[in-house]
Amino acid sequence: MKGIVLRSTGSRYEVLSPEGTYSCTIRGKFRLADEDATNPIVIGDQVVFQLNDDQTGIIEERSPRANKLSRRAAGRRQGKEHIIVANVDKAWIVQSIRNPRINPGFIDRVLVMAEVLHVPVGIVFNKADLMDEAAEEVVMYFAELYQSIGYDVVFTSTKVDGGTSDLSPYLAQGIHVFIGPSGVGKSSLLNLLIPNTVLKTGAISESTQKGKHTTTYAELIQVPEGGFVGDTPGLREFGLYEVDPDELSHYFMEYRPYMGMCRFPNCTHDHEPDCHIKALVESGDLSIERFESYQNMLAAARLGKLDVGR
């Protein structure tokens, strides 16, 4: 039988097929075949499984993936690839306007990884009801910046009537996924956007203004129109996986028109003389915030290479 993986919790995978939803395990061979990744089968994967007598299944095959969204695993498995979702039509970076406040460094990392992996990506600024004067200047600056680069930016609120209506039209078709820090409202959005969805949500910590990591596993939820939207656990950080420092600037889309205009053709816009990108940052034609993200990522990518021994 064939199906799509909706949920993975430890060693069990929930697979949706035309005949129903089945709880499956996987054959050990997957672990060997994909030893660089921490998780061989992920949500969004198309699989072939065999049904056991007790109506559980064993996943035998995985179809080739159209794409996947990955990050660098943290903690014990640091340096390995952690795949978040496969066959994704659009990944939505969810941020909240306040509690917790937006984190452009996080956004930029996901944008780079998405460009590297050919995953279409957009940005959701949630908790629009919390917009105040202090937040407005910063949030609108970044909203316009990302829009000008070419990314969809959508404002939402789960606390006002119709607060998700700008986002819902995007989600009818294909596989979408929400990713972002804990507490920004990913699960709350899904509960509103998809009828009969009751995902656990959690209050923000009074002391840190951050979420408490309420969602603990990734899952895809079916949209009545036919698409899927994925909820994922809040991320503390988003580490780049396998990004070549010499190529990093190719994934800053607004730098592309200026490729080859620095003195050195392989300029990393770091310490090289006569750098056209740096000149445009200094003149205010390119965003200083994006350039700072670029420099931070460049340093991390250079270290990352050492980390994995290449």
The residues binding ligand GTP (CB under 6 A) are 126-127, 129-130, 157-159, 182-188, 201-204, 211, 213-215, 233-234
- Paired tokens of 36: 């660089």
275 contacts Zn ion (rule: CB under 5 A): yes
CB atoms within 10 A of CB 25: 15
Closest distance of CB 2 from Zn ion, Å: 49
Of 69 and 301, nearer to ligand GTP (C-beta) is 69
The span of 8-16, 19-27, 199-207, 277-285 binding Zn ion (CB under 5 A) equals 277-285
267 contacts Zn ion (rule: CB under 5 A): yes
Closest distance of CB 144 from ligand GTP, Å: 21
Of 157 and 168, nearer to ligand GTP (C-beta) is 157
Alpha-helical runs (H) found in 81-235: 104-116, 133-149, 186-193
187 contacts Mg ion (rule: CB under 5 A): yes
**Out of 43, 223, 262, 281, the residue judged to bind Zn ion by CB under 5 A:** 262
Of 71 and 278, nearer to ligand GTP (C-beta) is 71
Q: Where are the beta strands (DSSP E) in the chain?
A: 2-9, 12-17, 20-26, 46-51, 57-62, 68-72, 81-86, 90-96, 121-126, 152-155, 175-179, 219-222, 228-231
| Amino acid occupying residue 72 | R
The closest alpha carbon to 203, from 188, 223, 190, 225, belongs to 188
Of 15 and 267, nearer to Zn ion (C-beta) is 267
Of 55 and 266, nearer to Zn ion (C-beta) is 266
96 contacts Mg ion (rule: CB under 5 A): no
**Cβ(2)–Cβ(47) below 8 Å:** yes
Site string for Mg ion, 204-243 (x = CB under 5 A): ----------xx----------------------------
Of 114 and 267, nearer to Zn ion (C-beta) is 267
| Amino acid occupying residue 240 | L
**Cβ(216)–Cβ(187) below 8 Å:** no
Choose the contact partner of 129 out of ligand GTP, Mg ion, Zn ion, none; CB within 5 to 8 A by kind: ligand GTP
Of 158 and 287, nearer to ligand GTP (C-beta) is 158
Q: Which residues pair with 122 in a beta bridge?
A: 92, 152
Alpha-helical runs (H) found in the chain: 29-33, 104-116, 133-149, 186-193, 276-282, 288-307
Choose the contact partner of 157 out of Mg ion, ligand GTP, Zn ion, none; CB within 5 to 8 A by kind: ligand GTP
249 contacts Mg ion (rule: CB under 5 A): no
Contacts of 107 (CB under 8 A, 6+ apart): 93, 95, 123, 142, 146
Choose the contact partner of 262 out of ligand GTP, Mg ion, Zn ion, none; CB within 5 to 8 A by kind: Zn ion
The closest alpha carbon to 241, from 121, 82, 8, belongs to 82
- Paired tokens of 173: 């078709």
Report d(CA 178, CA 166) in Å as an integer: 15
39 contacts Mg ion (rule: CB under 5 A): no
Residues in the site for Zn ion, rule: CB under 5 A?
262, 267, 269, 275, 277
Residues in the site for Mg ion, rule: CB under 5 A?
186-187, 214-215
